Each structure stands twice: as C-alpha cells, then as structure tokens.
Chains A and B, each alone.
Chain A
Amino acid sequence: MISVQNVHKSFGDLEVLKGVSLDVQKGEVVSVIGGSGSGKSTLLYCINAIETINSGKILVDDVDVHAKSTNKDKLRQKLGMVFQQWNSFPHMTVLENAALAPRIVKKMSKEEAMEIAKKELEHVGLGDKLDVYPTKMSGGQQQRLAIARALAMKPDYMLLDEVTSALDPELVGEVLDTLRLLAEEGMTMICVTHEMGFARDVSDRVAYFHQGVIAEIGEARQVITDPQNPLTQKFLSKVR
C-alpha cells in the first residue's frame, strides 16, 4: 500500500502541496486529475523520492520514503515510473534499454535480464523492435518502451506522470491501451492524466487536485460524470 499522509511541499516560497493525504491499496488504479500547477505531478515525484517533502509522511509498504535511513535506490525498484517525456536511452537498442536496470541494479546475468526485457517488450507490443534504436521509433512506441523498461524491474506500483501529454493525438490510443492492459492484470497504478475517458473507464478512483489539495476524491465514474465539488464541476466543464 502507498500511504500519503498530510504531505506539504514547497519550492522556495511556492507551496505546491498543502496537506495531501491519499491511500492507494494494492491492485487499485487511482487517476489524479487537475489543472497544471495543481501539484499532481509533484506528488508522484515525492512518492518516488525524486523530490523531498517539507512535512508529513509517505509510506510505501510501511517503509517511510523520506526517512534518512531509507535506501531510496532500493525503494525505487518497487516503484516503476513513466514520465511525460519518454527519455529513451539513445545509445542502446530497445532490448538493451529494457534490460539495463535488471542487469545492473538487480545484478541479473545478461541472459536473464534480456529474457525478462524481451518478455515485457512483447507485453507492450514491441516484440518486433528489439534490435531497433529508440530514436528510430515513434513517440508512442518510445513511451511503450518506457513502460516496458519500468515493468522489467518487476515493480509493485506504477507511477505514471502525464504519459500521453507529449504525444501526437493519433499515438495516444496505443499507450492508453497498454495501460488499460496493465490495469486489467491487476497492476497498482497512480496515473496523473488529462485523459478523462481513461480516468473514468480504467481507474477505480479519481482524485481532483486543486491548488495543492485534493478537492474531491471518489469512485471514478462518479467523480467524472457527477462531481460534487463545484471546483471539480468547473474544471471538468472546461476540459470537456
């Protein structure tokens, strides 16, 4: 379980998270929606210890993420993360991209790492691109590579930060389909997204972020189709 407890986070004078609490159970898919600058991406960065927090607590499987004694590199192995920018490693083939972390972080043999990487790449539909260099692929394919690369570490949770925002519109579908597949397989996910249809259909719960707090959270279909908070209503009427 991921447990975010009353987290505050500032960048200089700007308080981005103003007391955020959120529990995500194993197997659950939670989508986080909200305007830009509302703090939703920052939350993911704090869960993954890429950013520090000012106060509060984040527990991942009862481990305090921001405690000094926590080995953050080890913790991140549990938390797969995919970003808006796919960040493929341009000097490696698709297969090497996905096999790198299992090999050097988990110290697997080359064969073992390649085997797992190959399986995950087939999983996201890139089985025929193993020896291609990522710069030769479309954004959608590179984003699926980023998903497979994260999955190859066998994470317990996936944190997805606006993974379709930088894609050409016609490429969004293939990436969302991949995420839908993961959700069906029971992967625990927190998705920061602007895709309301995806949030409604794929996630169990949706949280609406407004100015650093969760203004509304509830069952996905209810929040998207019948929001209770006027702020949520206003936001959804604008994005539709």
Chain B
Amino acid sequence: MNSLFTPLSWSDSGLILTGVWNTVIISVVAIVVGTILGLIVGFARSESNKVVNAVFGSLLDVLRSVPLIIQLILFSTFMGAAGSPLAPFVAGSIVLSLYTMAFMAEVFRGGFESVSPSMQTAARSLGMTKWQTIYHIRLPIGLRAVFPSWLGVSLSVIKDSALVSVIGYMELLRTSEQLISRTQQPLEILIGVGIFYFIISYPLSYYGRYVERKMAI
C-alpha cells in the first residue's frame, strides 16, 4: 500500500517554489490593478456623481458581498460556456483584481472624503486650479489617511489568492494539496505553506509600518 505514496523530498522544492512564485505574481497583479481601478472608482464616487454612484455602488456591493470562491467558479465556468475559456491565471487575475478593486474603491473614497472642503477652498483661494488642488492636496492627504486600510486590504488579497486554486491555478495552496495527496504528510506541508504565506506577507506589513512612521504627521 505504502508504495502508492512517496514521501516529501528535496526534489519537491521546485514545485513549492513555483507555487510561491505564482501566489506572489497573482497577488501583485491583483493589488496593483485593484489599487489603480480602486483609486479611479473611489475618486469618482467621492465626487458624488450620481450616475457613477448608482452604477458602481451596486456593482461594488455585489463584488464585496458574494464570496470570492463563488465569483471565481462562476466567472471561469461562464467564460468556458461562452466559448472563450480563459487560462486559470487570466481568469483568476481578473476576478481577484475586481474583487480587490471593490474594497480599495471604498477605502479610497473614504480617504478623499476625509479631506475637508474648506481645505480645498483654501487651496483654490491661492489660485490653484481644480486639478492642482486634487493632485497636491486631496490626493496626498487622502492617501495618507487610508494607508493603513490599504495595507490591510493588500494583505488579505495575498491570503485570498489561495482561493484561485479552485479554478486550477497552481499557486501555493494547490501545489501543497498535490503534495499532500501524494505524500500523505499534511501536517508538515501545511505548516510549511503557512510559513511561506507569512514570508510573502511580512515584508509588505513591515514596509507598511515603516512608511506609516515616515508619514506620521
């Protein structure tokens, strides 16, 4: 019976590192794309444009309320059924990025709205144009205010990326699942994977604290 299983060996490290790399890549894509889109949507929402708010408001609500795992399966299945199946990485990146965007948009909206209108009036009274005021006053003050929340969302994206395994993306969790079914050593492998997630997340968290200290005003 035992011959069905082969124990964990050094030759598996290549597989694990591929998983680590894939987790890092999809997380970075989701955080970068989610941040950029979130900035745009969050700004538009803070400008209280009624049309934008109605459209994006409900879209954001859906993206934030439906579990990510369901979104991944539905999107991936839908694209397949629609005749243009996407590679797991592509489908996963799209869903995870939009999911991230939904959280980032609300974070940034809160930041922009925290900059008082009188501060902006003061800037305008110095002769600054609307866009100069946005760029030099509203953006930097608003972003500083929400940096800790941005960091929190980013860290959870790294962990949420584990769910992309359900549509077949070979990230860290899925590689570990494969190893577990082959080696039957779940304890060792899951501890190792946990450590890898920590190693991926910790630099971001550490760097975040450093940035927060530098920005402390």
Closest to A106 in B: B127
Q: Which of A102-122 contact B (CB under 8 A)?
A: 104-106
| A83-B118, A135-B217 known; A105-B126 Cβ under 8 A | yes
Checking B116, B126, B141, B144 against A76 with a beta-carbon cut-off of 8 angstroms, the contacting residue is B126
Contact A149 B126 (CB under 8 A): yes
Q: How far is the CB of A48 from chain B (nearest CB, A)?
A: 6
Q: Which of A59-112 contact B (CB under 8 A)?
A: 73-74, 76-77, 79-81, 83, 85, 87, 89-91, 100-101, 104-106
Which residues of B have CB within 8 Å of A79? 125
Which residues of B have CB within 8 Å of A87? 116, 118-119, 121-122
- State whether the Cβ of B132 lies closer than 8 Å to any Cβ in chain A: yes
Contact-residue size bin, chain B (C-beta under 8 Å from the other chain): 20 to 34
Contact A105 B119 (CB under 8 A): no
- State whether the Cβ of A50 lies closer than 8 Å to any Cβ in chain B: yes
Total count of chain A residues near the partner, CB < 8 A: 26
Contact A85 B118 (CB under 8 A): yes
Complex CA distance for A211 and B137, rounded to whole angstroms: 36
Which residues of B have CB within 8 Å of A48? 125
Q: How far is the CB of B12 from chain A (nearest CB, A)?
A: 49
Contact A91 B141 (CB under 8 A): yes
| A90-B217, A91-B141 known; A76-B119 Cβ under 8 A | no
Contact A105 B128 (CB under 8 A): yes
The interface of chain B, by Cβ under 8 A from chain A, is 116, 118-119, 121-129, 132, 136-137, 140-141, 144, 215, 217
| A87-B118, A87-B119 known; A76-B125 Cβ under 8 A | yes
Which residues of A have CB within 8 Å of B126? 76-77, 100-101, 105, 149-150, 153
Chain A CB within 10 Å, residue with most, of B126, B140, B141: B126
| A73-B128, A76-B127 known; A91-B144 Cβ under 8 A | yes
Closest to A102 in B: B126
Complex CA distance for A105 and B133, rounded to whole angstroms: 11
Q: How far is the CB of B177 from chain A (nearest CB, A)?
A: 46
Sample of 14 more A-B contacts, CB < 8 Å, known A73-B127, A73-B128, A87-B116: A48-B125, A76-B125, A76-B127, A77-B126, A80-B125, A87-B119, A89-B137, A90-B141, A101-B127, A101-B128, A104-B128, A105-B126, A105-B127, A133-B217
